Amino acid sequence: MTVRPDVFEQLAISSLRDVPLVTASEQVAVPLGRVDKITVGADCSAENIDVISISLPETLPAEGLLGASFLSHFPVFMNFEEGILELDR
């Protein structure tokens, strides 16, 4: 799971340590924290989720991105043509 630095700060996520992140052009160290619980939709929740803080493109209309630390708790179905992501419980 990835969130912008301002969201990391607003949620008062404590950095546990810096971890390496490989981008298209470089390797950088980014803060890694953990949140107690994340809920998406009405009933898809996961606990003790790792979160990293990185700057995201300003054109991205989101404050964060769901990643494997959250999605790995669910069967995930993606319909690219319709732009639908479904999480099964």
Report whether pLDDT(43) > 90.
no
**Higher model confidence: residue 17 or residue 62?**
17
pTM of this prediction? 0.83
**Higher model confidence: residue 69 or residue 89?**
69
Cα–Cα distance for residue pair 55/84, rounded to 1 Å: 25
pLDDT single digits (tens) 71-89: 999 999 999 999 999 998 7
Place of tokens 């995930």: 76
Give the pLDDT confidence score for residue 19 in this predicted structure: 96
Give the pLDDT confidence score for residue 67 in this predicted structure: 92
Place of tokens 């999605």: 71
